Chain A
């Protein structure tokens, strides 16, 4: 189990390899990587609540381990100013079989969206910027886990 909040970019493939290195008890790893979308957005700045963020991510990860028989897991979330195409977030869940890994990875993302204190501010091409509003769909996605 590990959570990290960092400004540096991460290499999702290297993170996944490290998660399972030397392990023979893991039969499945599922991961999700979130990227900054371009289009009308020139950059995205992520603010967070140092201290609470790490606590919230650790609590979300612990809840995933309570619900599924996970062998390993990882949450990496970036903060600061990010450009289109850059990775924002990585979650990974490892277990003996695929079902727990798939479900736990989705659970980690759904809970992270609504319960981890991060805020996105979008910079548009015309130089204006705005804080991103929370989406009702994110609350719905979390609620499906009961």
Chain B
């Protein structure tokens, strides 16, 4: 599974992208967030307040209850501030 981070989520996680193999128990974005939060103190900080995070699965906006599978690209980022 390819995981991407943007803006302050990237800064806290300490990387822009990483490949992870979280195992069969991870079936939703929420499960994946639980798994990622344990990877490092920076990851824990990135996922500390999920109300501040938005998610995309395969480049489409998704939610923490959205399903994820082994070949998905999952991105975590703050609310968008373009324009």
A-to-B contact residues, CB < 8 Å: 34, 46-49, 51-52, 55, 77, 88-89, 109, 112-121, 131-134, 138
Contact = CB atoms under 8 A, between A and B. Distances in A.
Interface stretch (B20-28, B29-37, B39-47, B75-83): B75-83
17 contacts: A34-B83, A48-B6, A52-B75, A55-B60, A113-B81, A114-B79, A117-B56, A117-B82, A118-B83, A119-B78, A120-B82, A131-B7, A131-B8, A131-B78, A134-B78, A134-B79, A134-B81
B80 A114 contact: yes
Contact of B59 (A52, A88, A115, A118): A52
A49 B82 contact: no
The A interface is mostly helix, strand or loop, or mixed, namely mixed
Interface of B: 4, 6-8, 56, 59-61, 75, 77-83
B61 A119 contact: no
B81 A49 contact: no
B77 A119 contact: yes
A112 B79 CA distance: 12
B83 A49 contact: no
Contacts of B60: 52, 55
B22 to A, nearest CB: 21
Contacts of B79: 114, 133-134
A133 B7 CA distance: 11
A113 to B, nearest CB: 4
Contacts of A112: 82-83
A120 B81 contact: yes
Nearest to A120: B81
A47 B6 CA distance: 8
A89 B78 contact: no
Given A119-B78, A131-B81, 20 more contacts: A47-B6, A47-B7, A48-B6, A48-B82, A49-B59, A49-B77, A112-B83, A116-B80, A116-B83, A117-B75, A117-B77, A117-B82, A119-B7, A119-B77, A119-B80, A131-B7, A133-B78, A133-B79, A134-B80, A134-B81
